[in-house]
Amino acid sequence: SYVLTQPPSVSVAPGQTARITCGGNNIGSKSVHWYQQKPGQAPVLVVYDDSDRPSGIPERFSGSNSGNTATLTISWVEAGDEADYYCQVWDSSSDVVFGGGTKLTVL
Amino acid sequence: EVQLVESGGGLVQPGGSLRLSCAASGFTFSGYWMSWVRQAPGKGLEWVANIMQDGGGKFYVDSVKGRFTISRDNAKKSLYLQMNSLRAEDTAVYYCARLVNVPTATEYFQHWGQGTLVTVSS
């Protein structure tokens, strides 16, 4: 089965840039999607197809994907960005796969 | 505005059954794949099941195959999850989600409901 690996936690100061990675075997050949989940709330799609943003998602959120690593980048981090972030792909043998999630802490 | 509202969660004994419902509004329900995704307390997200627009194709994670059944009623704009032979490890918040499916390419969850909690315990 296909496995996605995320760091458990990332910390960043307000105004700085946060980078959350998602590792997988040849993940660059797949489309990667990212979700933000704040405590007690449902997940929200923030990036799809590696780097596209749904309407209403700030341009501060961007994504990239190459080789064995996909990255969600949050520029000019705000306190309100503190949340859990999950990457997700579709794999022909595993169907939908989520990463284990990364807790973003804004210092 | 897309809205997905789950109901039917609650406390059930191991081996018992429960039926979850999801009421959809704000979009053409019959035009979309739909899904259930769950999240155990303090844990990450886990995909559970998908269903095609006409209900003809259904897909499940291995851990629920033979126990859970996803279905839909397009006339009622509703999605369901029948859960039988429930186990303690099925305890989770269950989310209804609208799926974007690109055949043989990718799938992702475009909109989510607020979830309903299922607790399996004696």
- Could you write out the DSSP letters of every residue in A21-80? EEE-TTGGGS--EEEEE-TTS--EEEEBTTTB--TT--TTEEEEEETTEEEEEE-S--GG
**How far does B76 lie from chain A, in Å, by closest CA?**
24
Question: Residue B35 in 3-state DSSP?
Answer: strand
pLDDT in tens, B93-104: 999 999 998 888
Percent of chain A at pLDDT > 70 equals 100
pLDDT confidence bin for A11, thresholds 50/70/90: very high
Cα–Cα dist A32/A69, whole Å:
10
- What does the alpha-carbon distance between residue A36 and residue A73 come to, in Å, rounded to a whole number? 12
| CA A52/CA B108 separation, integer angstroms | 12
What was the pLDDT predicted at A93? 87
- Rounded CA-CA distance B81/B69 in Å is 6
- Per-residue pLDDT tens digits for A95-105: 899 999 999 99
Chain A partners within 8 Å of B108 (Cβ): 31, 33, 45, 48-49, 88, 90
Q: Is residue B38 within 8 Å of residue A96, measured between CB atoms?
A: no
Structure tokens of B11? 């406390």
- A24 class by beta-carbon count within 10 Å (0-12 exposed, 13-18 middle, 19+ buried): buried
pLDDT of residue B103: 85
What's residue A51's pLDDT?
97
- Residue B102's pLDDT is 85
Q: pLDDT band for B1, please (50, 70, 90 cuts).
A: very high
Per-residue pLDDT, averaged over B1-10, amounts to 97
Token output for A55? 């309407």
Burial class of residue B23, CB neighbours in 10 A (0-12, 13-18, 19+):
middle
Mean pLDDT of A25-45: 97
Closest Cα partner for A2 from A20, A21, A29?
Answer: A29
- Residue A88 forms contact with B (CB below 8 Å): yes
Contact A71, A63 (CB under 8 A): yes
Q: What is the dihedral of CA B55, A91, B9, B91, to 10 degrees?
A: 150
Answer yes or no: do B47 and A45 touch at CB < 8 A: no
pLDDT of residue A94: 81
pLDDT at site B41: 97
B115 closest CB neighbour out of A42, A92, A101: A42
Q: Would you call B47 and A42 a contact, using CB atoms and an 8 Å cutoff?
A: no
pLDDT for position A9: 98
Closest of B10, B2, B61 to residue B32, by C-alpha: B2
pLDDT of B46 above 90: yes
pLDDT over threshold 90, residue A74:
yes
pLDDT score recorded for residue A62: 98
| pLDDT for position A98 | 98
Say what the pLDDT of residue B15 is: 98
Angstrom CA distances, B10 to B44, B71, B79, stand at 20, 20, 18
The torsion angles phi and psi of B37, rounded to 5 degrees, stand at -130, 140
pLDDT at A79 over 90: yes
Q: Give me the pLDDT at residue A71, please.
A: 98
More confident residue, B101 or B30: B30
To the nearest whole number, what is the mean pLDDT of chain B? 97
Query: Within an 8 Å CB–CB cutoff, is residue B48 touching chain A?
Result: no
Contact A100 B44 (CB under 8 A): yes
Token pair of B25, please?
A: 């509004």
Cβ atoms of residues A106 and A77 within 8 Å: yes
Q: What is the pLDDT of residue A25?
A: 96
